[in-house]
Amino acid sequence: MNNDSTYELPKGRQRVEVITSVQRRRRWSPAEKKAIVEETYAPGATVSYVARKYGIAPSQLFAWKRKMEEGALTAIGSEEAVVPESEVKKLQERIKRLERHVGRLTEENDILK
């Protein structure tokens, strides 16, 4: 053993890292998420291996992969935020109500002229 506290592991042993500090949450850009998920499709790659490589929980990587397979890839590729479908429907309904209201007001305005 030398002064920098590194040494050869005995044959058949694996290195284990123990994380003792609390780290801030890492923010991944959509492009980074896409690249990481695409690595899981490489021959011989596994989600667990790729997750370890980037310090991500495998469950998080599986979630990203599932979202990409469900179509979130379109939003990821365009660097846009993904909005829940229920919110889109609610906003579309609001737009329809407002358009009807504007139509009534326009008609009322024409009558008053």
Mind listing the pLDDT tens digit for each residue in 20-79? Answer: 656 667 788 888 888 999 999 999 999 999 999 999 999 999 988 888 877 765 655 556
More confident residue, 103 or 15: 103
Other Cβ atoms closer than 10 A to 97: 10
Give residue 2's pLDDT: 47
pLDDT grade for 1, boundaries at 50, 70 and 90: very low
Give residue 67's pLDDT: 83
In terms of phi and psi (left: phi > 0; alpha: psi -120 to 50; beta: otherwise), the region of 8 is beta
More confident residue, 7 or 36: 36
